[in-house]
Structure 1
């Protein structure tokens, strides 16, 4: 895009050279023939199609001495054809810059003067940011009676018109469009400015595939956060054909489908085939309880998704797990995790050896109490007393065999329960398989839920010693909880577990264990347990990609 921007004074002080005026006076006869780009149903939308409100829908129509085709503005811009009136009552024309011989879009407002100051100031500000995904702003002129902004003409259509014609877009295309818009916003925000009008009507898709954001209208009420959340709105609209009014702005577009609480239904609930991660990202951006990230972070996240789509891996990456999908892009991250896992394993072996060494010293009166005892005892052994556990010394703990039918994922009601069935990977004894949690924009699961965990259901109550958790990275916060029943594998059942189970370890305490090998304890030696919940409440920052995420590689339960 060639976008030269300049401040243009009113015509009575215009700086256009006299020879330019001569060219312009003859432009009507010499301008090249042009063809207005059309779509099925009429002229394509160009600019000026942003947020609508109830008042805007019946907004004023420009009726001052109507501009006419062939009229030349500022002795340079010849009007060719009226395209449409935008939601603010401004006229949008296709025109020709008779000096540079290029098509332009001209947005006219009546009157000019003070009432047009905001439009002109926004145009001047936008002209200072040159970016391939921002529409080029060429001129901003105030004639008092009327004012107009001259911009790049884009052969194509708006996202609003595209979805209206074709229906909701496939996830890969939705991501590509949102990625371009987020990249443009990052450039705008880097200058300290705000766009203030990110909307399906101001998101233009050129016939050449280029995506551009048009018609900045920032005022004192706008913010960078609102711009970023609107990217979530674009994703939601592209995936569902609906625009979330309450979360973003009132619009003539249909509102989001809502549940009984008034919350918008997630894209995955509206249509099939939306990847879990894209669904999570979209809803996090719309949820004002979740802190909005910077535009740069969203750009990086969407860039990663966009690349996955280009490599035809988009459908396989799963919820926020692209770097762990098969293929070359995953290998560097995977290798790093393996190195960390190996180093962590050596550390935990030393720690465990120290723990058992201390236990061996304490139990030195027992001839069979050695640090290697756990590996030599029958794993299926039971405590000598089949009744309640005794407060007498029980010997060294042994690893209790856990199978897939003894564990399940617990995801509170706010979760999407997409991880169902992955609990088997934490008890299969294979360090290369794991429960891969989704990525979130905040460490506390995006502020959307208390946490997630694995419920262990033993066949019968046992005296327990500790739980050992192997993770893909340090920094996760985990607590240990116990209860007397499993209310059921459902949203209500998981809610009851999280609210009723008793905490045995304080995940928020000063001594919280946050390494990649965690040992959780707090079991009462005089009590037998059958239901144990290993519950993650905070996620570590992922070093390979933006966001917070961790994999649970193995969970081991030790008892007597």
Structure 2
């Protein structure tokens, strides 16, 4: 695609009816004069609804308005608008980084008048960034980029569905891209007939759009090409249109759009898994490309022939293995020579002692120094209890919605690059929530000496508690230790007590500051008491 297509219709009432054009131009006011319209971001004729960036004159801030419009005499549209307002009111307390926070819902008689062609307004915080459609004006996005963009929105859909809510992510002009590169539902207020299944189809259509620059659902913006269909009426796969699209990503986009009776996906979790895998694979590939580029820059001759590159890598691997073996052998020889010298100056009585078996010793890892103190007798050496395996892990939540439950297994997957994090809160605990926790079920009951937490969120406050079961109430748990996390690994020592199989990490203070309070954890390691 080249140029910038006109994805928005002219200002005015797209659905026809009593709304005058002057009521919907920048500078006009809605909500009893409180909200001044700045620019039209899009419209959905199926609502019918318009999406506006506006200025809150009372608080001096920009907001996002979903304006429900229609003819005052149209009872069907009025009823559907009431249903949308009910849904928006019900979900106003839902918070997630992938959804703009609802600030107010204006009903007929309370800031809006159907005689003016307005049945209601959903007011949300304004999302800085760019329109999704602006992002694809130059062509389809790379698979990894599309996956990373859609991940937080898919997570929001999955979390909302667990809470019994529907978001309405079935129109591209409801979405914006944040400055940190995440898709966000910027104009909440789902249509009356939208179901959880439509949310899943909306995710698939959004993924399809980013991979092909084509929209696969009805009611798309003017000027945006529709997705092509095959002889059987099904949507042509993104990989057919663009062979570079990974097969798994292409398949999940198409299956999200299909009816569940013929194999269509039912939940956002299935989409989210493929997005995470694709984004991770793309990140790994990018890292490898960066390493190869750095190697080529250091050794320009390697860039002239791919075989030479592979040979160079092979030589480097062999050199690394050879150096390791040489180091081990050198350490063994030095140890033998040292004992031999000692034996030369020992008395016959000493030399007649028991024979010492020599084994090469591996040198200490970098950053550590070997001890020069005499060895402690084995009976006096402290015994290391080792680590305790984890059988399962779940989000422990006592109020509101659980925080990213679909990602919680990342804290015990052995990969420090994968993380779980809480939702982003505008206020620190205990306001809004008393805390949020992770309930760990150990593979076996054990007495614990400490827990090691790998986290990038310095300042996070954690209580480590033992629990009688995985579903125990908070007041049934016992505090074993507390700590404040530093960036990287933090050890929290635990009081010696009875063996336990259930451990609760209870987060009482979040990292971050201001109105962006969030904590992120990478890995948990439990160490057995000696």
TM over 0.5: no
- TM-score when scaled to structure 1? 0.41
